[in-house]
A and B are shown apart, each in its own frame.
Chain A
Amino acid sequence: MKSDFWYRFLKNKMAVAGAVVVILLFVVSFLSPFISPYDPNEIDLTNVLSSPSEDHLFGTDQLGRDVMSRMIWGAGISLKVGFVATGIAIFVGAILGAIAGYYGRWVDAVIMRFVDIMLCFPSFFLILAVIAILEPSIWNIMIVIGLTGWMGITRLVRADFISLKERDFVQAARGIGASDFRIIFRHILPNAMASVLVAATLGVAGAILTESALSFLGIGVQPPTPSWGNILTAGKDNIDIAWWLSLYPGLAILITVLGYNLLGEGIRDSLDPRLRE
C-alpha cells in the first residue's frame, strides 16, 4: 500500500515539481541567515528604490533595503503562518468533525449548524473584524486565519467518520470495551487522516494567500518584519516608479501557492487514483 503510494507519487511529474518547490522553500527559510546577501532590515538612504542590479538582484525598497534579502526572510514568515494557521484549523476541524460524525443525532445537528453559520460569513470580513479588535500581529493573524478556516475539514472528517464507524474493526473495538475517546482517536481518526492531509496541504496554500493579502492591506505582518505581502504594499505606493517591488514578491507567492496546490493534488491522486477526475 505504502510503496504503491510512492510509486504513483514519483511517477506524477507535477506532484514531484510541487514537492521540490515546497522543500526548497523549507531550505530557504531555515538557511535564511546564511544565504540572504544583506541584513533584511538594514536601511540605506543613499540607495533608495534602486532598480535591480548586480549588487541588488531584485533592487531596493523605499528605505534602501535589499528586496531579495527581505524576500528570503519573508519565506520563513509565510511558512510559519501557513503551518500554524493550518494546524489550528485541522485541530479544531478534526475534533468537531469527529465528534459530529461519531455521535450523530443532536450533537451532529448542533455542530453542523454551527458550520453553516460560520460559512455565511465572507471569511475575509470575519478575519478583518477580529484583527480590528485584537491588533494586527503575526500571532493574531495565524490564530484568526486558523479559526476561520476549519469548516471544510469538519465536513470531510465527519463524512469519513459516518462511513467508518459502522465498519467491523470499530465494532470489534467497541466489543472489547474500548472507550469512545479511544475509538475516536486511536481507531477511526488515523483512518480519516488521508483526506485531512490533502486538505491541510491545500490549506497551507490558502493561508499563505490570505496572509499576503492581509499584510498587503497593512493589517497582517507588521513592518519592519519582512513579508511578501508588505513588500507589495511598498510596490503599490511606488507603482509608477518601482515595478520590481511589485513583480518579485508576487511571483514568490504565486510559485509557493502553486507548489502546495500541486503537492496536495498529487498526494490525493496517489492515495486513491479513483479520486482523479
Chain B
Amino acid sequence: MIKYVLKRLLMMIPLLIGITIICFAVIHLAPGSPTDLQTEMNPQVSLEAKERLRAMYDLDKPLHEQYFLWVKKLAVLDLGKSFSTDHRPVTDKIAERIPITITINVLSMIFIILVAIPIGVLSAVHRDSLFDKVTAVIVFIGFAVPTFWLALLLMILFGVNLGWLPISGIRSLNYEYFTAWGAFVDLMKHLLLPVVLSAFGGLAGLSRYMRSNMLEVIRQDYITTARAKGLSERVVIYKHALRNALLPVITILGLSIPGLIGGSVIFETIFAIPGMGQLFYMAVMSRDYPVVMGILFIGAVLTLLGNLIADVSYAVADPRIRVS
C-alpha cells in the first residue's frame, strides 16, 4: 500500500511541473508588461520609475530566469503581492477565502453522493419502470440546463417571491445577535442554494453512471450464482451487486472536482459569497495578475490532490488495483 502511494506521489511531480509551466505561460501571454496597467493611467510616471517597478516584479530578467525565480518562491508558498491597492500577499488573500469554497464543494460532493447513488441504483434495479423513465428525462435536462440560469430562477422563486431563503452573502446582517445554533442555521440557509446548484451537474452525471454501472454488474455471473443459491433479491442487490458497482464511483467523484472548483466562480459571484471563486472573478475583472496566477495554480493543485485522494481510496477499497 505504502509503495502504491509513493508511486502515485512520484507520478504527480511531472504534472506539477507542467502546471507551473502553463500558469507561467498564461500570464506571459499578455502583450506588453503586466505592470503597464499600474502606470498607463498616470502620465507622470517616469521611465525610470517604470523600470524600477519592472525590476520589483523581476520583469527585467530573461524569461527562463523569471520562471525559476517564480517557482523558487512558489516552493515556499510565496505567490507574490496583489496589484490591488491593498498590496497584500496573494497567499494571505487566498488563504482567508479558501475555507468557504472548500466547505461548499465538500457539501456539494456529499449531496451528490447521497442523491445520485440511490437514484442510479433504483433506476437500474427497476429498469424501464416509470421511475427510471422520469429520472432519465430529468437527468437529460440536467445535462443541458445552464446552472447559472437555474440559480436565477431559484433566486426569483425562493428569494424574491416566497422570501424563504436569503439570496446573497453567507450571513444575515444581524447574525451577531444570533445564538450559536441560530448562526449555524443562518449559515446553512445561505449555503443551501449554492450547494444544491453546484451539485447539479455532478448529480446528473453520477446518477447516470451509477445506473449503467449497476446494470453491468447485475449481468455478471457471480450475481447469477448468488441468486441460484437462493439468496433473497435484497441481499443480492444491496450486498453483492451494490458493493462492486460502487467502486468506480470513487474515480468519477475525483474527476468531478475540477468542474466543482471551476463552478465556484459562477456561484460565488451570483450569490455574493466571499470565497476563492469570487476573488478570482474580481481579480480577472481588475487584471490583478498575481492573484489570477495564484488561484489558477491553486485550482490545478486542488484538482491534482483530489485525484490523488480518489486513486488512493480506490486502492484501499479494491485490492486488485494495488497489485497491478
Q: Given A132-B283, A132-B284, are A250 and B152 neighbors across the interface (CB < 8 Å)? A: yes
Q: Does A247 sit at the interface, judged by CB under 8 A?
A: yes
A235 touches B295 (CB 8 A): no
Q: Which residue of the partner chain, among B270, B285, B292, contacts A129 with CB atoms under 8 Å?
A: B292
Give how many B residues have a beta carbon under 8 Å from the other chain's beta carbons. 52
Considering only CB atoms, which chain B residue lies closest to A205 in the complex?
Answer: B144
Q: Does B27 sit at the interface, judged by CB under 8 A?
A: yes
B146 touches A254 (CB 8 A): yes
Give how many A residues have a beta carbon under 8 Å from the other chain's beta carbons. 45
Interface residues of A in 107-135 (CB under 8 A from B): 113-114, 116-126, 128-134
Q: Does B118 sit at the interface, judged by CB under 8 A?
A: no
Please, how many angstroms separate the alpha-carbon atoms of A217 and B263 in the complex? Answer: 12
Q: Which residue of the partner chain, among B30, B149, B263, contacts A232 with CB atoms under 8 Å?
A: B149
Determine the chain A residues whose CB is within 8 A of the CB of B304 once the complex forms. 120
B273-316 CB mask vs A (1 if < 8 Å, else 0) is 00000001101110101001101100110011001000000000
Please, how many angstroms separate the alpha-carbon atoms of A219 and B269 in the complex? Answer: 13
Determine the chain B residues whose CB is within 8 A of the CB of A218 once the complex forms. 285
Determine the chain B residues whose CB is within 8 A of the CB of A119 once the complex forms. 258
Stretch of A192-200, A238-246, A266-274 that contacts chain B: A238-246
Interface residues of B in 244-282 (CB under 8 A from A): 258-259, 261-263, 265-266, 269-270, 280-281
B212 touches A277 (CB 8 A): yes
CB distance from A254 to the nearest CB of B (A): 5
Determine the chain B residues whose CB is within 8 A of the CB of A125 once the complex forms. 261-262, 265, 280, 295-296, 299-300
CB distance from B205 to the nearest CB of A (A): 13
CB distance from A164 to the nearest CB of B (A): 26
Considering only CB atoms, which chain B residue lies closest to A260 in the complex?
Answer: B144
Determine the chain A residues whose CB is within 8 A of the CB of B321 once the complex forms. none
Determine the chain B residues whose CB is within 8 A of the CB of A219 once the complex forms. 284-285
A239 touches B160 (CB 8 A): yes
Q: Which residue of the partner chain, among B22, B159, B265, contacts A118 with CB atoms under 8 Å?
A: B22
B303 touches A120 (CB 8 A): yes
Stretch of B12-20, B50-58, B62-70, B73-81 that contacts chain A: B12-20
Determine the chain B residues whose CB is within 8 A of the CB of A235 once the complex forms. 152
Most buried by A among B259, B296, B304: B296
Q: Given A117-B18, A125-B295, are A250 and B300 neighbors across the interface (CB < 8 Å)? A: no
Considering only CB atoms, which chain A residue lies closest to B286 in the complex?
Answer: A132
Q: Given A133-B27, A217-B265, are A120 and B300 neighbors across the interface (CB < 8 Å)? A: yes
CB distance from B267 to the nearest CB of A (A): 11
Please, how many angstroms separate the alpha-carbon atoms of A130 and B265 in the complex? Answer: 15
Q: Does B141 sit at the interface, judged by CB under 8 A?
A: yes
Q: Does A212 sit at the interface, judged by CB under 8 A?
A: yes
Q: Given A205-B144, A253-B149, are A120 and B15 neighbors across the interface (CB < 8 Å)? A: yes
A121 touches B149 (CB 8 A): no
Determine the chain B residues whose CB is within 8 A of the CB of A249 once the complex forms. 149
CB distance from B212 to the nearest CB of A (A): 5
Q: Which residue of the partner chain, among A124, A133, A212, contacts B26 with CB atoms under 8 Å?
A: A133
Please, how many angstroms separate the alpha-carbon atoms of A216 and B149 in the complex? Answer: 9
Please, how many angstroms separate the alpha-carbon atoms of A209 and B263 in the complex? Answer: 12
Determine the chain A residues whose CB is within 8 A of the CB of B150 once the complex forms. 250
Determine the chain A residues whose CB is within 8 A of the CB of B15 once the complex forms. 113, 116-117, 120
B14 touches A239 (CB 8 A): no
B270 touches A121 (CB 8 A): no
Q: Given A125-B296, A236-B152, A240-B160, are A258 and B281 neighbors across the interface (CB < 8 Å)? A: no
B144 touches A258 (CB 8 A): yes
Interface residues of A in 201-225 (CB under 8 A from B): 205, 209, 212-213, 216-219
Considering only CB atoms, which chain A residue lies closest to B288 in the complex?
Answer: A132
Q: Does A257 sit at the interface, judged by CB under 8 A?
A: yes
B263 touches A124 (CB 8 A): yes
Please, how many angstroms separate the alpha-carbon atoms of A120 and B304 in the complex? Answer: 6
B30 touches A133 (CB 8 A): yes
Please, how many angstroms separate the alpha-carbon atoms of A257 and B204 in the complex? Answer: 15
Pairs of residues from A and B, 5 with the lowest C-beta to C-beta distance, nearest first: A122-B262, A250-B149, A124-B262, A117-B18, A132-B284
Residues of A within 8 A of B (CB): 113-114, 116-126, 128-134, 205, 209, 212-213, 216-219, 232, 235-236, 239-240, 243, 246-247, 249-250, 253-254, 257-258, 261-262, 277
